[in-house]
């Protein structure tokens, strides 16, 4: 039995079991099952993974940095990002990957290549997006409420700004990677600043899924092309599935996961 799962806190809302199990059943990759495992203390992550006999899994908020530290080996992209969202057991070692970065790139594959992007937030997901943008030669600024999390980006040569030194340039893509709007009605920035950025932007993406956040409401009102985090969830899962089941028909996996999500 190939045992897979999503690890984090909370995990009860996660749609990952739904989409992974749909792809497993569709391709008759049984016996395999994808479950959810609440892990409150990140220090327990590896013990839970090993003692329950997991073959692989996805790690979500707030343990992606612990997953990075507790892997035996790291894929080079995950190593650069400093955060891991996928573990796979290979020859008795746990290998850490980051499929959020590739997943995000695919969500914007139909957009015109952005000339300049504003990434709001500086957490694990912002690291993944900014790193893959940098690898693709895209110009960007990472803007965060507090300055201390910006050091990672500055060390990589990525432009940064905080609320007390807002950038005064124009952006064609604005991405919200903060959790503002997830379980509250907050914007990730003061409204007047967001309006100024949206006035010259073409696209706005919020990586939160399952609700229309105040960030996306404002962008819609200002007639930007918008999307939430559903497609990112699907694409990061498609990439993870490829690592769990290299033998699977990958284009079929994407179709089935989208159907399971009702897309
Ligand atoms: P982290 O906890 O690593 O980072 C959170 C960031 O949000 C920090 O920069 C923090 O700023 C900022 N922030 C939090 N609250 C506010 C607020 N009220 N106003 C302004 N800034 C705020 O989180 P992750 O990067 O791991 O995840 C972020 C979000 O992305 C979560 O909602 C998660 O569910 C979602 N996500 C979606 C995915 C998908 O597939 N669609 C994949 C991965 C994540 P500060 O440093 O100042 O505290």
pLDDT (tens digit, 9 = 90+) per residue, 72-104? 999 999 999 999 999 999 998 999 999 999 999
pLDDT number for residue 44: 98
Is residue 210 very low, low, confident or very high in pLDDT (cuts 50, 70, 90)? confident
Nearest one of 196, 210, 140, 187 to 168, comparing CA atoms: 196
Instruction: Give yes or no for residue 181 CB within 6 A of ligand 1.
Output: no
DSSP assigned state of 144: E
Looking at residues 202-225, what average pLDDT do you find? 96
Would you say 49 and 7 are in contact if contact means Cβ atoms under 8 Å apart? yes
| Dist. CA 126 → ligand 1 center (Å) | 8
- How far away, in angstroms, is 27 Cα from ligand 1 center? 34
Q: Is 146 in the pocket of ligand 1 (CB under 6 A)?
A: yes
The DSSP string of 51-114 is HTT-SEEEE-TT-HHHHHHH-SEE-HHHHHHT---EEEEETTEEEEE--HHHHHHHHTTTSPPP
Residue-level pLDDT at 173 = 98
**Predicted pLDDT of residue 56:** 98
Ligand 1 in reach of 182 Cβ (< 6 A): yes
* pLDDT computed for residue 13 by the predictor: 86
d(CA 255, CA 237): 12
Catalytic residues: 64
Is residue 235 very low, low, confident or very high in pLDDT (cuts 50, 70, 90)?
very high
pLDDT score of 263 more than 80: no
Whether 52 has a pLDDT exceeding 90, the answer reads yes
Mean pLDDT of the chain: 95
Entry pTM: 0.94
Question: What does the pLDDT read at residue 4?
Answer: 98
The CB-side HSE value for 179 (13 A sphere, CA atoms) comes to: 5
**Residue 171, helix vs strand vs coil:** coil
Burial of 29 (0-12, 13-18, 19+ CB in 10 A): middle
Atom of ligand 1 nearest to the CA of 236: 40
Q: Say whether pLDDT at 188 is over 90.
A: yes
């Amino acid at each position: 039995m190939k045992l897979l799962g999503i690890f984090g806190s909370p995990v009860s809302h996660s749609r990952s079991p739904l989409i992974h199990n749909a792809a497993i059943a569709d391709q008759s990759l049984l016996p395999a099952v994808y479950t959810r495992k609440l892990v409150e203390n990140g220090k327990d992550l590896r013990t839970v993974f090993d003692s329950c006999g997991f073959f692989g899994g996805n790690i979500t908020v707030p343990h992606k940095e612990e997953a990075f530290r507790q892997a035996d080996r790291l894929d080079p992209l995950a190593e650069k990002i400093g955060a891991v969202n996928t573990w796979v057991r290979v020859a008795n070692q746990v290998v850490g990957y980051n499929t959020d970065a590739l997943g995000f790139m695919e969500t914007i594959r139909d957009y015109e290549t952005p000339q300049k992007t504003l990434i709001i937030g500086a957490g694990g997901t912002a690291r993944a997006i900014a790193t893959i943008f940098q690898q693709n030669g895209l110009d960007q600024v990472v803007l965060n409420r507090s300055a201390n999390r910006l050091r990672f980006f500055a060390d990589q040569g990525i432009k940064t700004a905080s609320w007390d030194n807002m950038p005064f340039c124009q952006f064609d893509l604005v991405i919200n990677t903060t959790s503002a709007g997830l379980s509250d009605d907050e914007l990730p920035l003061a409204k007047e600043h967001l309006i100024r950025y949206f006035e010259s932007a073409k696209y706005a993406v919020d990586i939160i899924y399952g609700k229309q956040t105040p960030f996306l409401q404002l962008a819609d009102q200002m007639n930007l092309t918008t999307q939430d985090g559903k497609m990112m969830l699907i694409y990061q899962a498609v990439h993870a599935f490829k690592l769990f089941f290299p033998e699977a028909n990958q284009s079929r996996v994407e179709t089935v996961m989208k159907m399971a999500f009702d897309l």
